[in-house]
């Protein structure tokens, strides 16, 4: 591939565009959930590989959906997922590494009358390249879906072997997009190399107002190469939002249309032009409501983003 930007083939573009239209991926008004959101239009970003549009707030499931067979906890996660989809969210991200999370997502999807426009994203996480396909099939069974929209190589585990499998599955139409992931700022050098040398559609890494390492090279490279970017750990595993919530939201943020700290932190992330989607995780409906507030209203400009950084640094 060298340094030539990866451009998807015409056949693949047509297929992806078809899937995007079938999935209702174009911007639309949010379904009525509460008075606040009935007239708002959700913010979406384009997936460069296809032109499909994706709401900028997704949902992570690390820790929060790993509840085992605890029926009461499963019911509460179903409510969280229902709220996410009803407020206009699409991308749900998980992994076989997240314990029972995939089974709990599958249980929740089974309970929902309407899956809306779910964009199913999971990961392959096994040190054996030959087990990749069977692990993906197991994940499909757990979610109760026929195929994933996006399959990512989790933390680059055995990535060379899995890359061939995933690209072949994409070529055959069994996957729509292929991606790679990292977190906590690890292996950015390898991530960059793969972004340059392999025809991936998505890259996922940690990005938050307090951890902006990806702004240096990964995000510019994502733009240059036409790769969608998913921001994980937007609240730094909850520690960042716990820290800022001890303080009241500044007046200038409220004037800029931000209603709560979750919206503040998420809008900072998704206002970056190279970011396609942020995936906060929560186990509580009220927190999901706050997260989804970031899906509507105007995004901060560069000057406001700088002010947001300075403000949080001073807290």
Partner 1 sequence: METWLSYRPADLIMFSPEIYVRLFERLNLAAWPVQLLLPALAAGIVLLANSRHPHAHRLAATGLAAAWGMAAWWFFPLYAEINLAAPWLATLFAAQSLLLLLVAAGSGLRLDRRSVTWWPGLALLLWGMALHPLAGLATGRGVAGAELFALAPDPTAIATLGIVLMAHGPGRWRLTILPLAWCAISAATWWSLLSQGT
The site for partner 1 (CB under 8 A) is made up of 62-64, 66-70, 72-73, 97-100, 155, 184, 186-187, 235-242, 283
Q: Which is nearer to partner 1, 65 or 119 (CB)?
A: 65
Query: What is the residue whose two structure tokens read 């995780």?
Result: 281
The burial of 216, by beta-carbon neighbours within 10 Å (0-12 exposed, 13-18 middle, 19 or more buried), is given as exposed
Instruction: State the minimum distance, in angstroms, from the CB of residue 5 to partner 1.
Output: 29
What minimum distance in Å lies between the beta carbon of 103 and partner 1?
A: 9
Q: What is the CB neighbour count within 10 angstroms for residue 56?
A: 24
* Cβ-based burial of 40 (10 A; exposed 0-12, middle 13-18, buried ≥19): middle
Cβ nearer to partner 1, comparing 62 with 148: 62
**What gap in Å lies between CA 127 and CA 313, rounded to an integer?**
39
Comparison of 289 and 296: residue with beta carbon closer to partner 1: 289
Q: Which is nearer to partner 1, 11 or 239 (CB)?
A: 239
CB of residue 96 vs partner 1: minimum separation in angstroms? 9
Of 50 and 94, nearer to partner 1 (C-beta) is 94
Rounded to a whole number of angstroms, the minimum distance from the CB of residue 235 to partner 1 is 7
Specify the DSSP class assigned to residue 50. T
Helices vs. strands in the chain: H and E counts, helices first: 12, 9
Q: How far is the CB of 147 from partner 1 (least distance, A)?
A: 25
């Amino acid at each position: 591939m060298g340094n030539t930007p990866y451009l998807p083939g015409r056949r693949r573009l047509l297929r992806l565009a078809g899937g995007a239209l079938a999935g209702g991926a174009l911007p639309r008004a949010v379904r009525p959930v509460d008075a606040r959101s009935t007239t708002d239009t959700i913010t979406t970003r384009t997936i460069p590989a296809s032109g499909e549009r994706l709401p900028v707030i997704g949902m992570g499931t690390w820790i929060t959906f790993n509840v085992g067979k605890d029926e009461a906890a499963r019911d509460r996660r179903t409510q969280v997922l229902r709220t996410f989809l009803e407020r206009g969210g699409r991308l749900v991200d998980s992994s076989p590494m997240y314990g029972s999370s995939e089974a709990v997502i599958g249980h929740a999807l089974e309970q929902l009358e309407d899956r809306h426009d779910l964009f199913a994203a999971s990961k392959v996480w096994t040190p054996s390249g030959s087990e990749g396909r069977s692990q993906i099939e197991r994940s499909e069974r757990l979610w109760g879906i026929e195929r994933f929209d996006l399959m990512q190589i989790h933390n680059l585990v055995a990535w060379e072997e899995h890359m061939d499998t995933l690209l072949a599955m994409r070529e055959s139409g069994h996957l729509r997009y292929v991606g790679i992931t990292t977190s906590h700022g690890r292996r950015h050098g390898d991530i960059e190399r793969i972004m340059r040398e392999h025809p991936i559609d998505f890259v996922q890494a940690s990005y938050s107002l307090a951890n902006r390492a990806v702004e240096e090279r990964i995000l510019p490279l994502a733009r240059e190469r036409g790769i969608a970017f998913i921001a994980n750990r937007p609240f730094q595993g909850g520690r960042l939002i716990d820290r800022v919530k001890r303080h009241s939201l500044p007046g200038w943020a409220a004037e800029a249309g931000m209603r709560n700290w979750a919206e503040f932190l998420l809008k900072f992330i998704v206002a970056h032009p190279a970011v396609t989607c942020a995936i906060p995780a929560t186990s509580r409906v009220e927190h999901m409501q706050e997260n989804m507030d970031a899906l509507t209203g105007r995004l901060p400009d560069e000057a406001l983003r700088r002010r947001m950084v300075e403000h949080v640094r001073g807290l």
